[in-house]
Structure formats: C-alpha cells, structure tokens
Copies of this chain bind each other. A is one copy, B any other.
C-alpha cells in the first residue's frame, strides 16, 4: 500500500522524451496551437503520436507548467506558464496574438462588484482589436 502510494505520488510527472520535446516546442513557439506543437516536436524527436502530444499538453497544463487559452474562433493554444498575470491581444483580421500586461495590477478585475457568490481565482482577459500590420494594410473586406 504505502509503497504503491509513494510510487504513484512520485510518478506524478515522469520525465519522458516526448514531454521534454513538447516543453521545448512550446518554448520555441509562443502561443502555438496543437498542430504546430506536434510538428515541432516531431522535428526534434522523430515520430510522436498525436495522442501523446495531446496527453502531454494536458498533463503539463494540469501540473501548472503550461497555460492553455482558447480565443473564440481559434483552436487551443499554449504558452509557458509564467508567474505574471499577463493577458492576450488578438487581431480580429489576421488572428495575430500578442502578450499584454494588464494595467490594473496583479489581479485585474478580480474584485468584481457582483460576484453572485462565486469564489473567483482567475480573471482571463482577451483584448480584441487590430494588429499593426492589419492597420497598415487592411485586408480586403470581402
């Protein structure tokens, strides 16, 4: 019993080659989607199953090493979890994503006026707008 429990706990996050490779891929490709991460991982490792990458991303996200976010209309994207509380700006025309610091301090808007009894632990902010490139060369509106 005790032995097994210990083993289970220590095995909470095994160090495997796919995990290291996925972690490196996310570091190299900020805000990458799953497919980009899969491609990058295969470049450094050779064959890796797509299921493995999904599993690894989920495990690392649960462990707090990665942060997952999903702008409306986009697939899931990942970045290295850093301590700050930065947010994301997304371009409405080309989908470009940039990191943005929040002006409100450490926990922006977390003190909501009317929280309906919810106990909140995170405020996820997505800013929508236009990136510099799309401002200069507006995409054809049809």
Binding site for B on A (CB under 8 A): 68-70, 72-73, 76, 87, 89, 91, 98-104, 108-132, 135
Contact = CB atoms under 8 A, between A and B. Distances in A.
Contacts of A120: 89, 127-129
Nearest to A126: B124
Number of copies: 2
A67 to B, nearest CB: 11
A132 B117 CA distance: 5
Given A120-B129, A122-B127, A102 B113 contact: yes
A113 B103 contact: yes
Contacts of A109: 87, 102-104, 108-109, 125, 127
Contacts of A110: 127
Count chain B CB atoms within 10 A of each CB in A101, A108, A110, A132 and give the residue with the most: A108
Given A100-B112, A112-B100, A114-B101, A129 B119 contact: yes
B103 A111 contact: yes
A122 B135 CA distance: 16
Contact of A135 (B104, B114, B119, B135): B119
Which 3 interchain pairs have the tightest Cβ spacing? A120-B129, A117-B132, A98-B116
B119 A130 contact: yes
Contacts of A117: 131-132, 135
A68 to B, nearest CB: 7
